[in-house]
């Protein structure tokens, strides 16, 4: 049933998160006679409140995309729970319940060139989504709503965009269509999986501004998954840093980026090329894929960490508070 776009003011941030995960884990069996297991996501506690943008930052192999797919119910967790508004998502069995969840937590994909079906117009995609998630509307009302959200995301005039095919639009325009689709469901939380990584730089900022508007004007939370710290800083309220399937640091964005605690966060920050920052050639950490196949106990960053001590290879560090709302998982810097 259609709800007004702006919700009541959020309860105090410490109560009733919009979405939270507890020890969320996802493993994949990969081939080989030894039956090896890929630990894509291990024991992740995540929390997203109303009207906030949380940036999930990490490199490829960190598990951030897997988290998005777990939250979108494209994968089932190997263990752990996901709670949306207090109720476990695993309890949703009836088709109507699942559909309701999908309307509340839609996803925007990374690649604007493959996330829209090339055989269908924008109108088809929008109308399908509305048919599924706002079934009470008449056809006229659906058309009006489709136009409204297209204009909200900046595709003006909406009528023109509705009749276009994906190949007639630029990457930026396609991503706006994707956001419009998500918005038309009147969601509470949009999962945005690297929504700007494949767009030109001059266009990215426009979409980041759009996400901020969604939070401010439409009351929608966004889980913004990215590998680009600068974009994370520009638009997010809180940041969660992941490495090799684990959360290594989390807290208010400005706080974490200003005073990073975990060595990986520090490494990431030092490696970001910023034309306005003074030229600093950092030490030659060659990077390298994180070890997620049968990793065993212990901190997964220890092979690259300049501060590693013996405890790091024996015990997996847990997130511990370092200051208000700021946590890090490191035996050395956050014991």
Partner 1 sequence: MASPILDVREISVEYLSRGEPARAVDQVSFELMPGEFLGVVGESGCGKSTLLFAIVQLLRAPAVITGGEVIFKGTNMVQMSEKVLRAIRWRDYSIVMQSAMNALNPVTTIGAQYADALRAHQKISKEAILDRSRQVFELVGIDPVHLGSFPHQLSGGMRQRAMIAMALLFSPELIVMDEPTSALDVVAQRALMVQIKELQRELGFAVIFVTHDMSLVSHFSDRLAVMYAGQFAELGATSSVFADPMHPYTAGLLDAFPSVYGPKVYLDGIPGAPPDLANPPRTCRFLARCPKAMTICAGPAPEFYELAGRRVRCFLHDPAGGSDA
Partner 2 sequence: MSLREGLDRLMTGTSGNLARAVAGNKKALTGLTLLLIFAFMAIFPGLLAHDNPNAEIYPRSAAPSASHLLGTTSYGQDIFSQWVFGTRESLFLAIVVGGLATVLSVLIGVTAAYRGGVVDVALSLFTDVFLVIPAFPLVVVIAAYSKNGGNSILIAVLVVTGWSYGARQLRSQALSLRNRDFLAAARVRGERQWRIIVFEILPTMTSLIVANFLGAAVYAVLAAAGLQFIGLGNPDGMSWGTMLFWAENNEALQAGSPLWAIMPGIAIAALGGAFALLNYAFDEIGNPSLRPVRRARG
Q: Which of 6, 87, 114, 259 binds partner 2 (CB under 8 A)?
A: 114
Residue whose CB is less far from partner 2, 198 or 248: 198
Q: For residues 303 and 301, what is the distance between their CA atoms, to the nearest angstrom?
A: 6
Binding site partner of 37, from partner 1, partner 2, none, Cβ cut-off 5-8 A by kind = none
Q: For residues 52 and 61, what is the distance between their CA atoms, to the nearest angstrom?
A: 26
CA-wise closest residue to 239 among 65, 60, 8, 55: 55
Of residues 70 through 89, those in contact with partner 2 by CB under 8 A are 72-74
Rounded least distance, CB 153 to partner 2, Å? 16
Binding site partner of 231, from partner 1, partner 2, none, Cβ cut-off 5-8 A by kind = partner 1
Binding site partner of 181, from partner 1, partner 2, none, Cβ cut-off 5-8 A by kind = partner 2
Q: For residues 80 and 39, what is the distance between their CA atoms, to the nearest angstrom?
A: 14
With the CA atoms of 227, 230, 232 and 238 taken in that order, what torsion angle do they form, in degrees rounded to the nearest 10?
A: 120
Residue 216, judged by CB atoms within 10 A of its CB (0-12, 13-18, 19+), counts as exposed
Binding site partner of 72, from partner 2, partner 1, none, Cβ cut-off 5-8 A by kind = partner 2
Residue whose CB is less far from partner 2, 201 or 281: 201
Rounded least distance, CB 117 to partner 2, Å? 4
Which H helix or E strand runs over 174?
Answer: helix 171-184
- Binding interface with partner 1 (CB under 8 A): 59-60, 170, 172, 200-206, 208-209, 227, 229-231, 233-234, 257, 267-269, 271-277, 279, 281-282, 284-289
List of E strands, the chain:
19-29, 37-48, 53-57, 79-84, 87-88, 107-108, 189-193, 221-226, 238-243, 246-252, 320-323, 326-328
Rounded least distance, CB 208 to partner 2, Å? 15
Count the alpha carbons within 13 Å of 60 in the hemisphere toward its beta carbon: 3
Rounded least distance, CB 73 to partner 2, Å? 8
Q: What is the contact surface with partner 2 in residues (CB under 8 A)? A: 72-74, 98-99, 102-103, 106-107, 109-111, 113-120, 124, 127-129, 131-133, 165, 167, 170-172, 178, 181, 198-200, 202-203
């Amino acid at each position: 049933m259609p709800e007004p776009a702006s919700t009541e003011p959020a309860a105090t941030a410490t109560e009733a998160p919009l979405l939270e995960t507890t020890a969320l884990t996802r493993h994949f069996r990969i081939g080989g006679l030894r039956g090896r297991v890929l630990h894509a996501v291990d024991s992740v506690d995540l929390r997203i409140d109303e009207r906030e943008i949380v940036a999930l930052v990490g490199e490829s192999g960190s598990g951030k995309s897997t988290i998005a797919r777990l939250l979108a119910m494209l994968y089932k967790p190997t263990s752990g729970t996901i709670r949306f508004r207090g109720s476990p998502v695993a309890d949703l069995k009836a088709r109507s319940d699942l559909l309701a969840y999908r309307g509340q937590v839609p996803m925007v994909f990374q690649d604007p060139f493959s996330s829209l079906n090339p055989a269908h117009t924008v109108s088809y995609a929008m109308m399908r989504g509305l048919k599924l998630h706002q079934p009470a509307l008449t056809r006229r009302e659906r058309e009006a709503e489709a136009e409204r959200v297209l204009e909200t995301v900046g595709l003006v005039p909406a009528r023109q965009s509705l009749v276009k095919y994906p190949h007639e639009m630029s990457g930026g325009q396609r991503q706006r269509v994707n956001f419009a689709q998500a918005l038309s469901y009147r969601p509470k939380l949009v999962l945005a999986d690297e929504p700007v990584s494949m767009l030109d730089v001059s266009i990215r900022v426009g979409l980041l501004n759009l996400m901020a508007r969604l939070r401010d004007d439409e009351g929608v939370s966004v889980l913004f998954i990215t590998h680009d710290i600068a974009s994370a800083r520009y638009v997010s309220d809180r940041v969660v840093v992941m490495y090799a399937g684990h959360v290594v640091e989390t807290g208010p964005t400005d706080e974490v980026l200003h005073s990073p605690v975990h060595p990986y966060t520090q490494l990431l920050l030092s490696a970001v090329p910023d034309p306005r920052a003074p030229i600093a050639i950092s030490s030659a950490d060659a990077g390298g894929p994180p070890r997620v196949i049968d990793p065993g106990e212990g901190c997964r960053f220890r092979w690259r960490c300049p501060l590693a001590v013996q405890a790091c290879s024996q015990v997996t560090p847990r997130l511990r508070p370092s200051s208000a709302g700021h946590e890090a998982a490191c035996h050395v810097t956050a014991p």
